[in-house]
């Protein structure tokens, strides 16, 4: 076994083999890691941080759009029996709605139907903080400069508001049909 002194200066400063691989392969490595290992590898050097940071952001963003691509129906208790958009329900579902009554003889509304047959979507979106604890316990983080710490902390301890801009108008959109409703129109109707 050779010591570092015996091998010479050229080998001591040579790049490790992992760093010689193309970025595309590094991304594949990051894709196969769990998020804790992504953070660990990202903290080893600036190059891996530039790759791992994107994977960490993608991980967090997966918690912020849980309904993306889903068909969503938003109904309240005020809705009346038979009041639902055309072609939203199958003929069997329409028939079932018209047959069911509550204990007072009231027909089942779309609100009742959704509570009976679908899972309620909770409005709170939470971002996991497991990476924050792991980061604070890591030696690499404790050895970083103030600006490096700040950049890493901004990535690992996210505020959901960064992804939901409050200085831009939002659009409520039905992906099945062309009309869109601007935030100001919707809000002015209910405020």
Partners of 171 in beta bridges = 182
The verdict on residue 104 lying in a domain is: no
Domain count, the chain: 1
Beta strand segments in the chain, E: 171-173, 180-182
CB 4 within 8 A of CB 12: yes
Structural domain that includes position 173: 4-72+121-190
Q: Which residues contact 23 (CB under 8 A, 6 or more apart)?
A: 51
Does residue 108 lie within any of the structural domains?
no
Res 61: pLDDT: 82
Q: What pLDDT digit, counting tens, does each position of 110-144 carry?
A: 888 777 777 776 666 667 788 888 999 999 999 99
Q: Domain for residue 95, yes or no?
A: no
Domain-located, residue 80: no
- Would residue 94 count as lying in a domain? no
pLDDT surpassing 60 at residue 172: no
Question: Could you tell me if residue 111 is inside a domain?
Answer: no
């Amino acid at each position: 076994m050779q010591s570092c002194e015996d091998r010479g200066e050229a080998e001591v400063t040579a790049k490790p083999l992992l760093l010689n691989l193309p970025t595309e392969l590094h991304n594949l490595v990051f894709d196969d890691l769990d998020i804790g290992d992504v953070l660990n590898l990202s903290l080893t050097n600036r190059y891996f941080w530039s790759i791992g940071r994107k994977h960490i952001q993608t991980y967090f963003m997966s918690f912020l759009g849980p309904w993306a691509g889903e068909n969503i129906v938003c109904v309240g208790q005020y809705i009346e029996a038979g009041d639902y958009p055309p072609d939203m329900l199958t003929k069997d579902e329409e028939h079932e709605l018209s047959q069911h009554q509550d204990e007072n003889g009231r027909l089942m509304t779309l609100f009742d139907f959704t509570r009976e047959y679908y899972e309620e979507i909770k409005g709170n979106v939470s971002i996991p903080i497991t990476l924050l604890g792991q980061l604070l316990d890591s030696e690499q983080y404790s050895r970083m400069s103030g600006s490096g710490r700040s950049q890493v902390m901004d990535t690992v301890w996210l505020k959901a508001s960064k992804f939901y801009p409050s200085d831009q108008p939002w659009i409520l959109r039905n992906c099945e049909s062309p009309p869109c409703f601007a935030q100001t129109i919707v809000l002015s109707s209910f405020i």
